[in-house]
């Protein structure tokens, strides 16, 4: 298994696990924030650094963050000297990319999600594993 597949699997599993704690009524447009911005993917500098080294490469993750933040915010907001902040922002960005390919979520973007919608999104994510 290559590292691209490994880190995407980790991120997909994280999203799927967080979906289990997602309640209906959340708007589709808020799902990314709920899954990837209300808790940490990794806590701890050492663990974050090791995950980055094993799965992405520290500089590759930093490049991804810089490109994303400069495009979206005009400058870099993430503290790139903190591995924990780097890994969590990287996962936030990759989570956005993953969810942008979930067809049902795009259809329900401006709607409240039902439990059935959440389960269907979960199934679509599981199919990506």
Q: What percent helix, strand, coil does the chain show, rounded to 5?
A: 70, 0, 30
25 by DSSP, 3-state: which? coil
Distance CA 8, CA 50 (A): 16
Determine the pLDDT at residue 4: 46
Supply the pLDDT for residue 23: 85
HSE of 3 in the Cβ direction (CA atoms, 13 Å)? 11
Task: Give the pLDDT score at 82.
Answer: 96
Integer angstrom CA distances of residue 128 from 5, 101, 121 = 10, 10, 11
* pLDDT for the residue numbered 5: 56
| Nearest CA among 88, 41, 99, 43 for reference residue 61 | 88
Q: What's the burial of 80, exposed, middle or buried (CB within 10 Å: 0-12/13-18/19+)?
A: middle
Are 20 and 119 in contact, with CB atoms under 8 Å apart?
no
Instruction: Look at the block and give the residue holding tokens 């959440």.
Output: 118
- Which parts of the chain sit beneath pLDDT 70? 1-6
Give pLDDT, residue 6. 62
Note the pLDDT tens digit of each residue in 13-49: 999 999 988 889 999 999 999 999 999 999 999 999 9
Cα-to-chain-centroid distance, residue 46: 20
* Structure tokens belonging to residue 128: 């990506």
């Amino acid at each position: 298994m290559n590292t691209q597949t490994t880190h995407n699997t980790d991120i997909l599993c994280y999203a799927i696990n967080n979906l289990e704690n997602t309640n209906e009524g959340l708007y589709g447009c808020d799902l990314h924030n709920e899954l990837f911005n209300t808790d940490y993917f990794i806590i701890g500098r050492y663990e974050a650094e090791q995950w980055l080294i094993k799965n992405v490469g520290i500089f590759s993750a930093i490049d991804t963050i810089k490109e994303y933040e400069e495009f979206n915010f005009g400058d870099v907001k993430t503290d790139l000297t903190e591995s924990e902040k780097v890994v969590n922002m990287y996962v936030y960005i990759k989570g956005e990319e993953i969810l942008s390919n979930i067809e049902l979520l795009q259809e329900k973007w401006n709607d409240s999600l039902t439990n059935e919608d959440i389960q269907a999104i979960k199934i679509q994510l599981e199919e990506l594993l």
